[in-house]
Amino acid sequence: MIALVIRLLPAMLALALSASLAAAAQPKEPGDLWEVVNEMSMAGMPVGMQMPQRPPQKICRARNSDQPPVGDNDGRCEMYDVHRSASSFAWKMRCQGNPPSTGSGEMTYEGRDSYKGTINMAVGSQQMTMKLAGKRIGECDATESKRQVAAVQQRAAAAQQQASDAFAAMCKGAVDTMMSQSLRPDAGYKCDAKYKGDFCSRLQTPEGFAIVAPRKPAQIAGLQSGDLKEASEFCGVNGDEIRVRLCQRAEQQESLDFLASSCLGHARTGGTPSAKADSFGSTIVARECAGRTFSSPPAQQYRSFCSAAARQNLMQPVTADASNPGATVADKPEEKKDDTTARAKKMLKDIFNR
Amino acid sequence: MIPAARRALLSVLAALLALGAGVAAASEPAVDLFPRAASGYIVAINGKPRWARAPDSPRAPASLTKVLTALVLLEHDWQPHAEIVVGQRAGRASGARLGLRTGERAYAVELLEAMLVASANDACLALAEASAGSALAFVERMNQRAASLGMTASHFEDPCGFDQPHQVTTPNDLLRLTEVALSHPAFAQAIAQARGEVHTLGGRKLSYTTSNLLLGRLEGAQGVKTGQTSNAGRCLIGLVTRGTTQVIIVLLDAPDRWWTAAVLIEEAFRAAKSG
């Protein structure tokens, strides 16, 4: 957005100098050719760092203009509260964008052949200043200037629309991927409140929750992962309560994919279960997964779910009872087959810890 | 960099990190993502260890030993159609066996396949004794080869993996060994078989099936070796290839080795896909 304003300011200045062209068009309109120098600076810019500066520009301005110095350039920046005296213009301006910007400007003529002025803009939390200086260096055809200004306006409008579309796409993408950190006010671009509403509504659904729930907290300080804690805080809701509600329904409806992604290993009462039997999905695991051997696997519709349960089990920290597994079989290398009954019992025990 | 831009960059970084959560970068040391998988394990994706637990801790290898046995056999004047005479000790071998009788003869290649596919101890001992003159002499070759492979934490005392007081290896050493063994076509061909037959020169036909339950049940499974003894617990070296991605897992003392293997392998391919 800042880059956009930087691009727009010269165009706005050109408009200021050419404002009188808004008057009735004539085949040829006499004008003054001005050489304009703009110096931009930004508050808080470290010492030694400079904003990129443009070389002097030549701008044709309609002679004897009595119009306000700046008109509505491309529909994005609105000039208002314009004051003109014999030798000066002063105005305020507000620009649409992401984030929107506001500012004010003033210009003072030094005789007929030179002027100085300043434009101050607030872009989000950034303060930007442009110092203006111009001197008359000849004559020109203001009709051509008008055409050029119209072209600039058109390009600026297209660029603004493109930027606006890009931001909208990013905000929608953040909802689609359930990245709360991309929707936060400090995300670097400001998404409309509508997107936060969409995100928070989606967080309450199995579809949205299942995207957020498996995420781990960010491992690097200062970064965000978009996990459930962050998403809940962003929406001002209790993530555990949402999980309990959604997982209860998923258990009732045997929504296995959701149970596998978002509920296994979580207590029915919220938080960490004190026993495996308190966990969401444990009833289905006991009924459909436990005791199944690899060569006589669970029913087809439960296989992914049972694999997820096994995975969840393997990822649990090792406790004393699981620290020395095995060492119970015959002292012979490689039996022909596993003892499936003993193995099933052991698996049952390992999965359910009972 | 202005704060807004820095925040935007951090958001992008965070998003990227979130997408890769739980997945270690290839250059990072393998992490123990599955503490309950086995007492010692390693999962390698395209040769790079991804997850591991106690990868350098010595444990009993059980019949995973036979991978080294096969490698030593294949690298010492290997003649596939040599007639191997079953010695007395081989004829009495316990545990998994084909049912060879003392004095019977069979072709070396068929015994090698039975040793790798069905973990037949009678075939294993017959080959080791025939190759080096005695099991003891063969073990000496095994330890020399292990040393040359850099299997510094491994020591072997039995060619077929029977528990011995100082017979140990590690997940890392077994991974290295497996990668080298797979470079031998005869090894790679043998371990992929689900069943086979040994035809003794006396006319008996001894059928066997693989001890590897992953074969035919898990997409892309190409076998390698199973093992199980009292000291070692349930062990497995598994090889699975899908497209251009190859996953090798080594499990030492894994209570539910088949489910564990299946879960780890699927996770590995998921991780490989997400980068």
- Give Cα separations from B243 to B24, B174, B246, B247 (angstroms): 21, 24, 8, 11
Asked whether the beta carbons of residue A224 and residue B14 sit closer than 8 angstroms, the reply is: yes
Q: Are residues A123 and A199 in the same domain?
A: no
Q: Is A341 a residue whose pLDDT tops 50?
A: no
Residue B112: domain span: 27-274
- Name chain A contacts of B157, Cβ cutoff 8 Å: none
Overall size of chain A counted in residues: 354
Residue of A222, A318, A347 lying closest to B10 (CB–CB)? A222
pLDDT at B17: 37
Residues 6+ apart with CB under 8 A from A161: none
B109: in domain: yes
Q: How many domains does chain B contain in total?
A: 1
Start-to-end CA distance of chain A, whole Å, equals: 60
Q: Is A321 a residue whose pLDDT tops 70?
A: no
Helix (H, G, I), strand (E, B) or coil at A168: helix
Q: Are residues A247 and A227 in the same domain?
A: no
User: How does A10-26 read in b/e, with b if 16+ C-beta sit within 10 Å?
Assistant: bbbbbbbbbbbbbeeee
Q: Are residues A277 and A232 in the same domain?
A: no
Mean pLDDT over all residues of chain A?
Answer: 76
pLDDT at B250: 98
- Give Cα separations from A257 to A206, B105, B174, B211 (angstroms): 10, 55, 36, 32
Q: Are residues A130 and A108 in the same domain?
A: yes
B42: in domain: yes
Rounded Cα–Cα distance for residues B263 and B139 (Å): 35
Q: Are residues A119 and A207 in the same domain?
A: no
- Give Cα separations from B228 to A302, A345, B95, B249 (angstroms): 29, 18, 10, 16
Q: Are residues A304 and A218 in the same domain?
A: no
A333: in domain: no
Q: Are residues A155 and A296 in the same domain?
A: no
Closest approach of B205 to chain A, Cα-based (Å): 18
- Name chain A contacts of B33, Cβ cutoff 8 Å: 315
* Per-residue confidence band for A136, with pLDDT thresholds at 50, 70 and 90: confident
Q: Are residues A157 and A229 in the same domain?
A: no
Segment A29-69, tens digit of pLDDT? 888 888 888 888 877 666 566 666 778 888 777 776 655 44
A327: in domain: no
* Per-residue confidence band for A12, with pLDDT thresholds at 50, 70 and 90: low
Residue of A351, A323, A328 whose CA lies nearest to A339:
A328
Residue A204: domain span: 177-237
Q: Which residues of chain B have pLDDT under 70?
A: 1-28
Read off the CATH number of the domain in which B97 is found: 3.40.710.10
Q: Is A122 on the interface with B (CB under 8 A)?
A: no
pLDDT at B4: 43
pLDDT at A64: 66
Q: Could you tell me the pTM of the whole model?
A: 0.63
Report yes or no: A334 and B123 within 8 Å, Cβ to Cβ: no
Boundary of a domain, candidates A145, A166, A187? A166
211-230 in A: which are within 8 Å (CB) of B? 214-216, 218-220, 222-227
A112: in domain: yes
More reliable by pLDDT, B226 or A4: B226
pLDDT at A55: 81
Q: Are residues A27 and A155 in the same domain?
A: yes
Boundary of a domain, candidates A115, A139, A166? A166
- Name chain B contacts of A42, Cβ cutoff 8 Å: 2
Rounded Cα–Cα distance for residues A294 and A314 (Å): 16
Q: Where are the alpha helices (DSSP H) in chain A?
A: 2-18, 142-176, 193-203, 206-212, 228-235, 239-253, 256-258, 282-284, 303-314, 340-352
A330: in domain: no
* Per-residue confidence band for A320, with pLDDT thresholds at 50, 70 and 90: low
A193: in domain: yes
Start-to-end CA distance of chain B, whole Å, equals: 29
> Rounded to 5 degrees, what are φ and ψ at B183?
-75, -10
Residues 6+ apart with CB under 8 A from B135: B89, B125, B128, B129, B158, B159
ipTM computed for the complex: 0.73
Q: Is A345 a residue whose pLDDT tops 70?
A: no
pLDDT at B267: 93
Q: Is A46 on the interface with B (CB under 8 A)?
A: no
Asked whether the beta carbons of residue A347 and residue B213 sit closer than 8 angstroms, the reply is: no
B15: in domain: no
Boundary of a domain, candidates A136, A166, A196? A166
More reliable by pLDDT, A74 or A181: A181
A325: in domain: no
Residue of A223, A297, A316 lying closest to B14 (CB–CB)? A223
pLDDT at B164: 96
Q: How many domains does chain A contain in total?
A: 3
pLDDT at A35: 87
More reliable by pLDDT, B80 or A184: B80
More reliable by pLDDT, A269 or B64: B64
DSSP secondary structure letter of residue A288: I
Q: Is A324 on the interface with B (CB under 8 A)?
A: yes
Q: Is A119 a residue whose pLDDT tops 50?
A: yes
DSSP secondary structure letter of residue A299: P
B217: in domain: yes
